[in-house]
Amino acid sequence: MTGQTRKQFLFEKRRRPPCGNQKTFPYLNAALSFFYRFVGNNKEVKVFCFFCSKKKCLPSLALLLQLTPAAASDARLPDWSGTWVPNITDQNKRITTDPVPWTASAARQIAKMQAEEKAGHPRGLFVNCLPEGMPSWMLISHNALEILFSPGRVTLLGESDGNRLRRIYTDGRSHPPDPDPSFHGDSIGHWEGDTLVVDTIGVIPQSYVAISEAVGLPNNGDLHVIEKLHLAGPDTLHDDLQIIAPHVLSRPWNTTRIYYRQRARKYEIVEGVCLQGSFNGGTDKDGNAVFVPVPQEDGNPKPP
């Protein structure tokens, strides 16, 4: 018995029964999962070993209903595949039908911006090519997005500003106590039936609450966004948002954004690097293909 005392050997032997949490009764669990899906319970069902001897392992009579959302059970999730194209007409309509409850001071700034835009002098909020971030990506984007499911995660990928990506963790975790602020924040989600409920905090204070590309204010901190994403029809996705931005909104703002599903190949998301528009293709003195800056003015290529 080299390198191992007899005591250790016996201990290891005792630890090696033919059961334990490693034995998970795949067929029984699959059948139970199917049953629970059928009755609309979105919980993870697992039968573990209840009793074991040296040779046998009997399944538990008690079902362990884990309270964490189903992580590895993609089959139970709704089909959100395809490309989701925003309803821009509806975004614009909601500027009047879903008015933002701005604070008095925010409302004054917004009125000024709207007047400037109407007069033809829009102050582009995103011409620096930084990401639209949360919640503006969901509120005002004119570009398509796609939604990917993987175990314990839902990922939103967008088009146009190069780094448009939301990671929504659905593995039952909670927010970190002090997340590093980011454009898209820290998002955790869970499924309530076929509705994905997403809670987002940790967004940088500079990220806009915008109603158009030229009208909006930085959230100025403590932003909290609660979303309910669900199919409102076979190919229509709704994002019901509640935006809590205590430094610019007088109360939580509830609004909805609508996306339509496209499956034709030409609708697939393409790469979009916002800063690429600031350059044109050119050739250097050695014949290399290089980027040559295009003179810009307020986000437009400057006419000569």
Residues of this chain that bind another protein (CB under 8 A): 85, 87-90, 92, 95, 117-118, 120-122, 124, 126-127, 129, 132, 140-144, 159-162, 212-214, 233-236, 260-264, 266-267, 269-274, 276-277, 279-280, 294, 298-304
- Pick the closest to residue 225 from 247, 190, 204, 253 (CA basis): 253
Cβ within 8 Å of residue 153, ≥6 positions away: 167, 168, 169, 170, 171
Which H helix or E strand runs over 205?
none
Output the smallest distance, CB 197 to another protein, in A.
Answer: 24
Residue nearer to another protein on the CB measure, 197 or 269: 269
Distances (CA, A) of 303 to 51, 228, 295, 297: 79, 44, 8, 9
Residue nearer to another protein on the CB measure, 72 or 232: 232
Residue nearer to another protein on the CB measure, 98 or 199: 98
Output the smallest distance, CB 48 to another protein, in A.
Answer: 44
Task: Return the bridge partners of 228, or none.
Answer: 197, 240
- Long-range CB contacts (< 8 A, 24+ apart) of 146-154? 146/82, 146/83, 146/84, 146/269, 147/80, 147/81, 147/84, 149/74, 149/77, 149/80, 150/74, 151/71, 151/72, 151/74, 152/71, 152/72, 154/189, 154/196, 154/198
- Pick the closest to residue 210 from 175, 248, 153 (CA basis): 248
Output the smallest distance, CB 119 to another protein, in A.
Answer: 8
Residue nearer to another protein on the CB measure, 124 or 179: 124
CB 18 within 8 A of CB 55: yes
Residue 84 to residue 166: CA distance in whole angstroms? 15
Output the smallest distance, CB 146 to another protein, in A.
Answer: 11
Output the smallest distance, CB 294 to another protein, in A.
Answer: 8
Residue nearer to another protein on the CB measure, 60 or 280: 280
Residue nearer to another protein on the CB measure, 36 or 80: 80
Output the smallest distance, CB 268 to another protein, in A.
Answer: 9
Output the smallest distance, CB 219 to another protein, in A.
Answer: 19
Residue nearer to another protein on the CB measure, 43 or 261: 261
